[in-house]
Amino acid sequence: MTDSLIELRERLRCFAEERDWQQFHAPKNLAMALGVEVAELAEHFQWLSEQDSRRLPAAELAAVREELADVLLYLVRLADELGVDLAQAARDKIGRNAVRYPVETSRGSSRKAPER
């Protein structure tokens, strides 16, 4: 895990421990909370055009920033509870995607590759 993710994980772990919240942080509960936060993030973009979604007004961008933070925090906490190194998992996934979506056949295409 990168230093910043490790620091974030440790701060979240301490935050939960200080409040005796570990009892509520079962992976099931964290995954459900993560889903709720992703839905709250999606709400900000629900009826926007693609162009408008790229040019959010400052107040809307600030609200999206808060939701992104919520998503990240729950994701880091869930990974911690499951013993998953998020940075390594992401590197591994990028490597698998590079094989699944080679540049020569994927450039400019949004088509999903077949499962292997």
Domain boundaries, the chain: 3-100
**Using CA of residue 49, residue 51, residue 53, residue 59, what is the dihedral sign?**
negative
Query: From the centroid of its chain, how far is CA 98?
Result: 20
Instruction: Give the closest residue to 102 by CA, choosing from 116, 88, 86.
Output: 116
- Per-residue model confidence (pLDDT) at position 10: 96
CA distance 65 to 10: 21
Predicted model pTM = 0.89
Give pLDDT tens digits along the chain (116 positions).
Answer: 678 999 999 999 999 999 999 999 999 999 999 999 999 999 999 999 999 999 999 999 999 999 999 999 999 999 999 999 999 999 999 999 999 999 998 999 888 887 65
Cβ pair 75, 34 in contact under 8 A? yes
CATH fold group of domain 3-100? Helix Hairpins (1.10.287)
CA distance 116 to 100: 8
